[in-house]
Amino acid sequence: TPVNQPFVRCLPEAAGVSSAKIADFLCEIAEDETLNMHSILILKDGKMIAEAEFADQSTSVWKYTFSACKSITSLAIGFLYDEGILLPEEKLTEIFGETVENLLTMTTGASFNEIMAVTDTDWVKGYFSGAFVPGNFFYNSLNTYILSAIVKKKTELSLSEYLKPRLFDPLGIDNYYWEKCPMGIDKGGWGLYMLPADMAKLGQLVMQ
C-alpha cells in the first residue's frame, strides 16, 4: 500500500542541493558492478529531494533491513527506560552478571551467536548457557535478540507490538514485518522488512 505520511517532496535546488551533483552520484552508483544497489532516498531538511530505483527494484516493496534494525530495537529499550520499566544497569539474571548496557554496546563477550541459533530452538537458554568474556566490543546479533526478549518479558508484548503505538503508528509506519525465533520472539537484531521511505523516517527522527 502507499506510504502513510510520506515526506514532502521538493526539487534539490529548493533545498540548496545541485540536481546535477545528485545525478552524477546516482550514475556512479549504477555503474559500479561491485554494488547490488536496490534504492536510494535522499532527504534534506526533512524533505525528500531524490528517489532512485536500480535494475528491477522498487521502493514500493519491503526491503530487508539486516542489522539496521538493531537501532530500532535500541529505541525500544529507550522507551522502556523512559517509562521506568528498565534500567541500563539492571542485571539480566541473578547468575549472569552482565547488564542491559553490555547488550546495547556489544560488550557481553557472549559466545552463543547466529550460527549456533540455527541449530537451537530456545535462543534465550542457549545464549545464557554459553561462555562470556565481558568487557571488549564483540559484534554478536544475539545481544540485540536478548534485548527483544527483555521487551517481551517486561511488557508481555512482542518488540513490534510494543513499538507500534510508541514509534510506528506516530510515524505512519504500517508496512513492516519482523521475523520471529522458534519461541515466538521478534529477532530484534535482524529479520525486519520495511519500506525504504519508512526507514528514512526513523533516520529523520533520530536526527531530530
The string of pLDDT tens digits covering residues 51-105 is 999 999 999 999 999 999 999 999 999 999 999 999 888 887 754 566 888 899 9
Asked whether the CA dihedral 204, 77, 186, 139 is positive or negative, the reply is: positive
pTM value is 0.89
User: Counting every residue, how long is the chain?
Assistant: 208
Q: Distance of CA 178 to CAs 62, 73, 92, 96, 102, Å?
A: 11, 11, 24, 28, 24
Spatial contact of 146 and 103, defined as CB atoms under 8 Å apart: yes
